[in-house]
Amino acid sequence: MNVSEQSLAGRILRQEKLAKYTSWRVGGVAEKMFIPNDKEDLELFIASLNKDEDVLWLGLGSNLLIRDGGVEETVINTRGKVKQMYLLDTTHLYVECGVPCAHIARFCAENDLSNAEFFAGIPGTMGGALKMNAGAFGSETWDLVEQVEVQLQGEKVTKKAANEFEIAYRSVSGIDNACFLSAILKLEAAKDTKGQARIKELLAKRNATQPTSLPSCGSVFRNPENDHAARLIEVSNLKGYKIGGAEVSTKHANFIVNTGNATAADIEQLITYVQNEVYKQQGIKLQTEVCIIGKSAV
């Protein structure tokens, strides 16, 4: 499907600096970035792409390390866009891919719906949460998903039931290269009116245990089975270890923070160092939860 840039309501940017779009505040430039006006505009753009065109999705830019040399992929940036959210009935919520997860938690609490409070602890959007089955405070996104709208590049939008996907810890498979456009979440009527209080309690817990005042990506490593990455890093005496402007947080060992002047290379080198040291000392190879992409700086 051929679509001219003039027929799109959104913006196409060239050589756009990515650091301002990522939660680590690092990264090179995007050769091409599309910012859709709304979901219909996004659908039109995806339908216009070749099946083999490499695409990078950006929401709030968390869980992502973009190298200093930037990316050749076409970047689709939904920050502040594709953000419709409304109740379909008393317990079903329609959420588009650009809605920040924190907004979902707050909306559900305000409408006396329960089980969505954990979204307050996910520093991303619905699209990213669907893609990786994001979770927080012991709950995961796909616990609530009943149906999604997906689109493959060069094709039309289709609706899929949750049971058509294979869901695991921080993993969703079943349709290769699927672009998640929206979801219908199945919630429960709240038994009390304490939803907003529970969110405040969870956020207070997060602020007390995580370095929320410094740029980070969220959790860097996946938790190994029956263990926690933070514990393994801490017992390896790596809290506070620095490479350049990147530091293993002294508040939470599974966070790497940008202390002010870190490069993506600093952060990636620190990730590798932590993996090697934990393996050397504890015999466990930590797997990254963060996605690392792009070209190294020349």
Vertex 108: Cα angle to 106 and 111 (nearest 5): 110
Residue 13's CB is within 10 A of a number of other CB atoms, namely: 16
Tokens of 88: 């379909």
Q: Provide the H-helix boundaries in 96-225.
A: 101-110, 126-132, 195-209
Q: In this structure, which amino acid lies at residue 44? A: L
Q: Rounded to the nearest 5°, which phi and psi values hold at 152?
A: -95, 150
Pairing of strands 145-151, 157-161: antiparallel
Tokens of 170: 């921080």
Q: Rounded to the nearest 5°, which phi and psi values hold at 125?
A: -110, 170
Q: In this structure, which amino acid lies at residue 278? A: V
Residues with a catalytic annotation lie at: 170, 219, 289
Q: Are 166 and 124 in contact (CB under 8 A)?
A: no
Tell which phi-psi region holds residue 4, choosing left (phi > 0), alpha (psi between -120 and 50) or beta: beta
Residue 232's CB is within 10 A of a number of other CB atoms, namely: 24
Tokens of 179: 């672009």
Q: Are 88 and 184 in contact (CB under 8 A)?
A: yes
